């Protein structure tokens, strides 16, 4: 039996590669004679571009850029297709993981460093930029990225606003005249990790602001800033960004880049699986195991395990989903994609106790699955 192991990362516990290895370890320790292929996946968030680079064997370029709160850090981007396409991971320069909890600063954290990476790629003459978005520390609507590319944010008196995103409370208009001219001929594709819109109850500030340190008062201010930002971009470009699907990705950076640069917003996992030719590995497999910290109805909104299961089901393959948390009742929607959905915990425990046990839990459950199949096949 050939088993394809295609998990996402378990946030705060293991990256996708480690998850895959833990499952593989468990299967190989079982009674099931099997071969495994580890195919860790990414849906736009942390680690996605590193996995793309690994699969496509791209060239890595290193640059010193600003982190979300303006400190210099070393970040990388990748070049694929003979240097024609740059692959950038927003979290590399602007990620939440770069800040300690006492450094979170949602009104001032910005995406300027990601813009510096884009500029670095343009310097090398790329004709397309792919940005994996998600896992960001910012709620600046991508104003930092756009500022690094020459967009000027002006107040009513025509003074340039440099403190992003807080200064955008006074935003009156934007000036595109000094923007990098190379953007015109460069395609931008954004791999989106969620479908949330820029504004409103399900928007970037309300849903993701709190995990970036925003208090309820800050969430309100960020929502007003993004509302004003959307109005000003609309006035300048004629493009409405307030309600577009996935406009709330990475603090609204997807929306800002859609409005000003004409970015193509795509489902992160689908794009990832196509780019890395996941289908070829599927064709060789008898069973697929996917996993993520949590698998529930949200997963079906386009998250990693859903993308994997969808393609596997298209070929009629059985799919096992492993997660730290699953719903009490498995709905028909979920069972249409996951033949078996299992929580991996070894007993009732707090998240703090569960996280360090993730690797062992995954291996133990994988061994159980392997043993079950081995015994079933024997009979
Ligand atoms: O970066 C973020 O805000 C979240 O991952 C959603 O995109």
Rounded to an integer, what distance in angstroms lies between the CA atom of residue 166 and that of residue 230? 15
Taking all residues of the chain, what is their mean pLDDT, rounded to a whole number?
A: 96
Residue nearest to atom 5 of ligand 1 (CA): 134
Banded pLDDT at 55 (limits 50, 70, 90): very high
Residue nearest to atom 4 of ligand 1 (CA): 134
293-328 tens-digit pLDDT:
999 998 998 899 999 999 999 999 999 999 999 999
- Residue of 8, 109, 194, 246 to mutate, ligand 1, most atoms within 8 A of C-beta: 194
Run of H or E including 3: strand 2-5
**CA 84 – ligand 1 centroid, Å:** 27
Q: Evaluate if residue 244 carries a pLDDT over 70.
A: yes
Q: Average pLDDT, stretch 277-300?
A: 96
User: Distances from the Cα of 297 to the Cαs of 9, 249, 255, in angstroms?
Assistant: 18, 19, 25
Q: At what angle do helices 268-275 and 304-314 cross, to 10 degrees?
A: 50
Rounded to an integer, what distance in angstroms lies between the CA atom of residue 46 and that of residue 53? 13
What is residue 379's predicted lDDT score, i.e. its pLDDT?
64
59-108 tens-digit pLDDT:
999 999 999 999 999 999 999 999 999 999 999 999 999 999 999 999 99
Residue nearest to atom 3 of ligand 1 (CA): 250
Rounded to an integer, what distance in angstroms lies between the CA atom of residue 212 and that of residue 291? 25
CA 227 to chain centre: 23
- Count the neighbouring beta carbons within 10 Å of the beta carbon of residue 82: 7
Task: Confirm if 20 and 40 have CB atoms less than 8 A apart.
Answer: yes
Rounded to an integer, what distance in angstroms lies between the CA atom of residue 94 and that of residue 309? 30
What is residue 45's predicted lDDT score, i.e. its pLDDT?
84
Rounded to an integer, what distance in angstroms lies between the CA atom of residue 376 and that of residue 369? 11
| Three-state secondary structure call for residue 202 | coil
Between residues 346 and 308, the one the model is more confident about: 308
126-166 tens-digit pLDDT:
999 999 999 999 999 999 999 999 999 999 999 999 999 99
What is residue 116's predicted lDDT score, i.e. its pLDDT?
98
Rounded to an integer, what distance in angstroms lies between the CA atom of residue 99 and that of residue 365? 34
Strand 173-175 relative to strand 35-38, pairing: unpaired
**CA 44 – ligand 1 centroid, Å:** 9
Residues having CB closer than 6 A to ligand 1 are 45, 133-136, 193-194, 208, 249-251
CA 356 to chain centre: 23
250-266 tens-digit pLDDT:
999 999 999 999 999 99
Could you report the predicted ipTM of this complex, rounded to two decimals? 0.99
Q: Average pLDDT, stretch 18-36?
A: 98
CA 220 to chain centre: 25
3 state SS for 71-133: CEEEEEEEEECCCCEEEEEHHHHHEHHHCCHHHCCCCCCCCHHHHHHHHHHHHCCCCEEEEEC
Rounded to an integer, what distance in angstroms lies between the CA atom of residue 284 and that of residue 34? 13
Q: Evaluate if residue 235 carries a pLDDT over 90.
A: yes
**CA 253 – ligand 1 centroid, Å:** 9
Q: Evaluate if residue 234 carries a pLDDT over 70.
A: yes
Rounded to an integer, what distance in angstroms lies between the CA atom of residue 304 and that of residue 194? 10
- Count the neighbouring beta carbons within 10 Å of the beta carbon of residue 30: 18
Which atom of ligand 1 sits closest to the CA of residue 137? Answer: 1
Strands of 287-331 (E only): list them: 287-294, 319-325
Phi-psi region of 177 (alpha: psi -120 to 50; beta: other; left: phi over 0): alpha
- Residue of 44, 247, 251 to mutate, ligand 1, most atoms within 8 A of C-beta: 251
**CA 122 – ligand 1 centroid, Å:** 25
**CA 121 – ligand 1 centroid, Å:** 23
């Amino acid at each position: 039996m050939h088993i394809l192991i295609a998990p996402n990362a378990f946030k705060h516990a293991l990256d996708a590669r480690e998850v895959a290895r833990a499952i593989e370890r468990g299967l190989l320790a079982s009674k099931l004679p099997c071969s495994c292929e580890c195919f860790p996946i990414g849906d736009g968030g942390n680690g996605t571009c590193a996995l793309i680079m690994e699969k496509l064997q791209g060239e890595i370029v290193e640059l010193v850029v600003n982190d979300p709160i303006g400190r210099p850090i070393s970040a990388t981007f990748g070049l694929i297709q003979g240097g024609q396409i740059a692959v950038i991971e927003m979290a590399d320069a602007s990620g939440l993981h770069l800040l300690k909890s006492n450094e979170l600063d949602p009104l001032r954290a910005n995406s300027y460093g990601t813009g510096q990476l884009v500029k670095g790629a343009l310097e090398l003459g790329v004709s397309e930029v792919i940005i994996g978005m998600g896992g960001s520390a910012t709620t600046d609507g991508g104003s930092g990225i756009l500022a690094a590319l020459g967009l000027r944010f002006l107040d009513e008196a025509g003074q340039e606003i440099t403190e992003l995103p807080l200064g955008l409370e006074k935003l009156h208009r934007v000036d595109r005249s000094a923007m990098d001219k190379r953007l015109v001929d460069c395609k931008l594709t954004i791999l989106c990790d969620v479908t949330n819109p820029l504004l409103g109850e399900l928007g970037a500030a309300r849903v993701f602001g709190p995990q970036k340190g925003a208090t309820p008062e800050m969430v309100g201010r960020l929502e007003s800033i993004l509302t004003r930002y959307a109005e000003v971009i609309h006035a300048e470009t004629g493009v409405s960004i307030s309600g577009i699907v996935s406009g709330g990705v990475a603090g609204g950076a997807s929306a800002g880049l859609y409005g000003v640069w004409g970015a193509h917003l795509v489902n992160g996992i689908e794009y990832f699986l196509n780019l890395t030719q996941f289908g070829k590995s599927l064709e060789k497999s008898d069973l697929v195991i996917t996993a993520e910290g949590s698998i529930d109805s949200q997963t079906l909104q386009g998250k990693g395990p859903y993308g994997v299961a969808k393609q596997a089901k298209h070929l009629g393959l059985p799919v096992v989903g492993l997660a730290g948390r699953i719903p009490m009742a498995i709905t028909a929607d979920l069972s249409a994609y996951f033949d078996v959905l299992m929580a991996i915990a070894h007993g009732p425990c707090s998240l703090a106790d569960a996280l360090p046990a993730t690797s062992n839990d995954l291996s133990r459950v994988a061994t159980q699955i392997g043993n079950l199949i081995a015994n079933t096949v024997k009979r």
